Amino acid sequence: MIASSSLQSWLKCGSDNNLARVISLEFRRGRSKRFGSKMRFRNALGSRLFQWCSRENHTSVRKLLEVDGTSERSKLLKKVSVLMGYSNAQDLVEQQRVRRESATELIAVFKEIDFPEISAKFPCIKIGDASPIELYEDSTNMKCKETVLSENLTNFIRGSGGNLESVYDFPNECHPLSQTPTTADDVSISEEISPMAQHIVQEPAVDKETRPESLSDAITSDNSILDKNIRCLPGTTSRQYRQLEDGGFHTVRKLLQHFPRTYADLQNPHGPIEDGQYIMLFGTVISSRGIKVKSTLGFLEVVVGCSIVETELSSSVKSSHSGAEQKTIHLHLKKFFSGTRFSSQYFLNCMSAKHKEGDLVYVSGKIKKALANGHYELKEYIIDGLEGEGEQSSMLDRKPHPIYPSKAGLKPSLLGLSISRALKMLNPDVDPLPPDVLTEFNLPNLFDAYMGIHKPKDRDEADFARRRLIFDDFFYLQLGRLFQMLEAVGTRVEKEELLYKCKNHELNTVGVDDWSPLTKKLLKALPYSLTPSQLNAVKEIIWDLRRPVPMNRLLQGDVGCGKTIVAFLACMEVVSSGFQAAFMVPTEVLAVQHYEHLTSLLDKFDGDDKPNIALLTGSTSTRESRIIRNGLKTGEIAMVIGTHSLIADKTDFSALRISVIDEQQRFGVVQRGRFNSKLYTSSSKLSDENTSPDEASDSETFMAPHVLAMSATPIPRTLALALYGDMSLTQITDLPPGRQPIETLALEGNDAGFKTVFQMMRDELINGGKVYLVYPIIDESEHLPQLRAATAEFDLIKQKFEGYPCGLLHGRMRSDEKDEALSSFRSGETRILLSTQVIEIGVDVPDASMMVVMNAERFGIAQLHQLRGRVGRGERKSRCIFLASTPSTLPRLKVLEKSADGFYLANADLLLRGPGNLLGKKQSGHLPEFPIARLEIDGGILQEAHHAALKVLAASNDLALYPRLKVELSMRQPLCILGD
Ligand SMILES: Nc1ncnc2c1ncn2[C@@H]1O[C@H](COP(=O)(O)OP(=O)(O)OP(=O)(O)O)[C@@H](O)[C@H]1O
Pair 537, 553: CB distance under 8 Å: no
Of 118-132, 371-385, 654-668, 792-806, the range with the highest mean pLDDT is 792-806
Q: Which residue has the higher pLDDT, 101 or 960?
A: 960
Mean pLDDT of 179-191: 30
562 CA from centroid of ligand 1 (Å) = 3
Residue 691 has pLDDT above 70, yes or no: no
% the chain with pLDDT above 90: 18
CA of 529, closest atom in ligand 1: 1
848 CA from centroid of ligand 1 (Å) = 14
Q: Which residue has the higher pLDDT, 672 or 249?
A: 249
Cα–Cα dist 944/955, whole Å: 17
* Ligand 1 atom 9: residue of nearest CA: 562
* Ligand 1 atom 12: residue of nearest CA: 562
Cα–Cα dist 649/644, whole Å: 11
Residue 517 has pLDDT above 60, yes or no: yes
**Mean pLDDT, all residues of the chain:** 70
Residue 918 has pLDDT above 50, yes or no: no
Q: Which residue has the higher pLDDT, 125 or 310?
A: 310
Do β-strands 360-372 and 401-403 pair in parallel, antiparallel, or remain unpaired?
unpaired
Looking at residue 41, its pLDDT comes to 46
| Closest alpha carbon to 647 in 689, 625, 614, 676 | 676
Pair 371, 358: CB distance under 8 Å: no
Residue 387 has pLDDT above 90, yes or no: no
Cα–Cα dist 408/185, whole Å: 16
* Ligand 1 atom 30: residue of nearest CA: 562
Q: Which residue has the higher pLDDT, 196 or 663?
A: 663
pLDDT single digits (tens) 276-330 = 776 777 788 999 998 888 888 888 899 998 887 765 433 433 344 445 567 788 8
* Ligand 1 atom 10: residue of nearest CA: 562
Pair 258, 408: CB distance under 8 Å: no
Cα–Cα dist 959/487, whole Å: 11
Q: Is the dihedral of CA 474, 479, 484, 486 positive or negative?
A: positive
Which residues fall within 8 angstroms of residue 578, CB to CB, at 6 or more apart? 655, 684, 685
Range with lowest mean pLDDT among 33-42, 457-466, 819-828, 889-898:
33-42
AA identity, residue 633: K
Of 84-98, 144-158, 243-257, the range with the highest mean pLDDT is 243-257
- Which pLDDT band, with edges at 50, 70 and 90, does 756 fall under? very high
DSSP characters over 623-681: HHHHHHHHHHHHT---EEEESGGGGSTT---SSEEEEEETTGGGS-HHHHHHGGGSPPP
Determine how many CB atoms are found less than 10 A away from the CB of residue 277. 13
* Ligand 1 atom 8: residue of nearest CA: 562
CA of 846, closest atom in ligand 1: 29
Cα–Cα dist 347/288, whole Å: 13
Looking at residue 27, its pLDDT comes to 66
Residue 913 has pLDDT above 60, yes or no: no
740 CA from centroid of ligand 1 (Å) = 14
The enclosing H or E element of 965 equals helix 963-972
Q: Which residue has the higher pLDDT, 116 or 965?
A: 965
- Which pLDDT band, with edges at 50, 70 and 90, does 112 fall under? very low
Looking at residue 234, its pLDDT comes to 80
In this prediction the ipTM stands at: 0.98
Residue 948 has pLDDT above 70, yes or no: yes
Distances in Å between the Cα of 326 and the Cα atoms of 144, 282, 286, 317 are: 53, 14, 18, 6
Distances in Å between the Cα of 485 and the Cα atoms of 388, 442, 502, 951 are: 48, 27, 11, 15
What three-state secondary structure class fits 198?
A: helix
Pair 31, 176: CB distance under 8 Å: yes
Which residues fall within 8 angstroms of residue 44, CB to CB, at 6 or more apart? 22, 25, 26, 167
Residue 68 has pLDDT above 60, yes or no: no
Residues with CB under 6 Å of ligand 1 are 528, 530-531, 534, 557, 559-565, 712, 736, 842, 844, 846, 869, 873
DSSP characters over 763-820: HHHHTT-EEEEE-SBSS--SS-TTS-BHHHHHHHHHHHTTTS-EEEE-TTS-HHHHHH
| Closest alpha carbon to 902 in 561, 660, 661, 662 | 561
pLDDT single digits (tens) 800-809 = 998 899 999 9
* Ligand 1 atom 25: residue of nearest CA: 559
For the entire predicted model, the pTM comes to: 0.50
Of 84-88, 96-100, 698-702, 935-939, the range with the highest mean pLDDT is 84-88
559 CA from centroid of ligand 1 (Å) = 8
